[in-house]
Amino acid sequence: MERIPSVEIPRVVESEPATNRSVERACTLLGAFAPEQPRLTLGALAASADLPKPTAHRIVTTLVQCGFMSQHEDGTYALGFRLLSLGAIVRENLDVVRACAPAMERLARATGETVILGEADWAAREVTIVHRVDSSHTLSVLSPIGRRSAIPPGALGKALLIGLSDAELDAVIAELPLDAETDRTHTDPAALRQEIRRSRALGYVVEEGEYLRDVSGVAAPVRLEGTRPLAALGLVGPTTRLHGEIERLGALVRDVAGELSA
């Protein structure tokens, strides 16, 4: 048998730190986009990553070529089509989505309202919408998948809080920014703490115009495993339609979330 000569693979040492920095910078640039700012100029992208414009331009050009960003005719940049397929793969393989999706479909059929699922990021004190079943009504509330928001405001954030012990609740609330999204947003830690403790007895929380004006909702924590809630199951809709139905809807969401947590 002919002997295949061995080939020595050169070790790349000096370029690794530079490569890692480039990847980190690319991730920072991609993370600069948000639902409220889906398009950004090169200057805004460079500022978000604290990079010189030429450096940002080089990385952005590569991301555009790979399909992770796109450039519009006005010169602004947006997230690219490749992220759509990757995002779909992520959602389909999230354990929390697989576990909750059938129950969410059932809840949406029973109520006709938009049902949303938010996954907790306790380290960042944020909640991310990872799945949604749309309302059957013409007038409905759009909650974009992938939207991240602080814990709280809103029903999802408050639902996560009612699943905490008193000691954990105090520690988490002390670290929350409590910025006002509307004139009904909780900005007083003491008032928020009181509402959370009252809501525990109900097993669900109520939101009335705290994140978006004229939008109401109910939500309950989903544990699946561990002690802290892994996610929150919510139902949202126009206040004009949900008014008078909050208690009934809250009980439904609580019961479904309880089944998922069992």
Same-domain status, 125 and 30? no
Please enumerate, as own/partner, the contacts of 24-28 that have beta carbons within 8 Å and a separation of 24 or more. 25/49, 25/51, 25/55, 25/56, 25/59, 26/59, 26/62, 26/63
Same-domain status, 46 and 169? no
Q: How many domains does the chain have?
A: 2
Q: If DSSP codes are grouped into helix, strand and coil, which group holds residue 75?
A: coil
Q: If DSSP codes are grouped into helix, strand and coil, which group holds residue 105?
A: helix
Same-domain status, 106 and 233? yes
Q: If DSSP codes are grouped into helix, strand and coil, which group holds residue 235?
A: strand
Look at residue 40 and tell me if it is in a domain: yes
Look at residue 208 and tell me if it is in a domain: yes
Asked whether residue 262 carries a pLDDT value surpassing 80, the answer given is: no
> Quick one: how far is CA 48 from the chain centroid?
20
What pLDDT digit, counting tens, does each position of 215-242 carry? Answer: 999 999 998 766 789 899 999 999 999 9
Same-domain status, 133 and 207? yes
Same-domain status, 78 and 154? no
Last residue of a domain, one of 50, 83, 116: 83
Q: What percent of the chain has pLDDT over 70?
A: 88
What pLDDT digit, counting tens, does each position of 180-202 carry? Answer: 889 888 899 999 999 999 999 99
* Euclidean distance between CA atoms 139 and 64, whole angstroms: 36
Asked whether residue 149 carries a pLDDT value surpassing 90, the answer given is: no
Same-domain status, 36 and 100? no
Look at residue 10 and tell me if it is in a domain: no
Look at residue 151 and tell me if it is in a domain: yes
pLDDT confidence band for 95 (50 / 70 / 90): confident
From residue 190, how far is each of 121, 193, 195, 219 by CA, in Å? 23, 5, 9, 21
Asked whether residue 9 carries a pLDDT value surpassing 70, the answer given is: no
Higher pLDDT pick, 8 / 35: 35
Same-domain status, 154 and 240? yes
Same-domain status, 107 and 235? yes
CATH assignment of the domain containing 233? 3.30.450.40
Confirm if 219 and 253 have CB atoms less than 8 A apart: yes
Which stretches does DSSP call E strand in the chain? 69-71, 77-79, 114-121, 126-133, 148-150, 205-208, 215-222, 231-238
Q: If DSSP codes are grouped into helix, strand and coil, which group holds residue 250?
A: helix
Give 136's DSSP letter: S
Same-domain status, 102 and 74? no
Residue type, 235: L
What pLDDT digit, counting tens, does each position of 199-216 carry? Answer: 999 999 999 999 888 999
Same-domain status, 53 and 105? no
Nearest to 168 by CA among 91, 228, 226: 228
Look at residue 9 and tell me if it is in a domain: no
pTM score, whole prediction: 0.68
Domain that holds residue 63: 15-83
Higher pLDDT pick, 19 / 61: 61
Look at residue 243 and tell me if it is in a domain: yes
CATH assignment of the domain containing 45? 1.10.10.10
Length of the chain in residues, anyone? Answer: 262
Same-domain status, 47 and 153? no
